[in-house]
Amino acid sequence: MQEIEVVVDFNGIVIFDPERLKEYYGNIDIGTNLLKRFTTTNEGEEVIKQGIVTPIIGINDSAYKVFVREDHEQSEIHPNSIILSNSFFPLGITNRAVISDLSTLYEWYPDENWIEIHIPVGFYSVKINGFHLIENDEIIDFGFEFVFSKEHILPKFSGSLTQNMQVLELK
């Protein structure tokens, strides 16, 4: 289990294997706007279906507490604080996995603001849980948990790209 702070400046978080993303494109030039390609063509859906990128999109800019764990590891989040869940996203790791702000895909600079996550090479179905803790009508703790379940083959994408993933709203 790994706890990370991810500072979001571009309304989202992504987990990906940089080598798989480079293999998909052959080469990615410095400064390339992959996000535009993902949102104006079917490439965005394809990289998700092929398990190259696992995104959280449409969230507020902030510093998020992020937990990354395998499904056999115990969660650090109290079950009552989980307010949303989105599953499953396929992810294939052939080299290493990193987590970053969505801006990584807006302007490609290898290793800039990437945080390596400690998940072994393999195929996974990924569940994303969003959580927050409220005291006196204020959100005092919030973030996301990525739960990795090992698979023998790359699973099918069954998550939602349109689900509201906001954890900074009082409900």
Domains of the chain (ranges, CATH numbers): 2-151 (2.60.34.30)
Instruction: Enter the pTM of the model.
Output: 0.96
Residue 171 pLDDT: 65
Low-confidence spans in the chain with pLDDT less than 70:
171
Residue 170 pLDDT: 77
Show the beta-strand stretches assigned E in 81-152.
82-93, 97-101, 115-117, 122-135, 138-151
The tokens describing 55, both together, are 């995104």
Give residue for tokens 């396929």.
90
Computed over every residue of the chain, the mean pLDDT equals: 96
5 SS3 class: strand
Q: Which amino acid makes up residue 74?
A: Q
For strands 62-70 and 138-151, give the pairing: parallel
The tokens describing 102, both together, are 């969505």
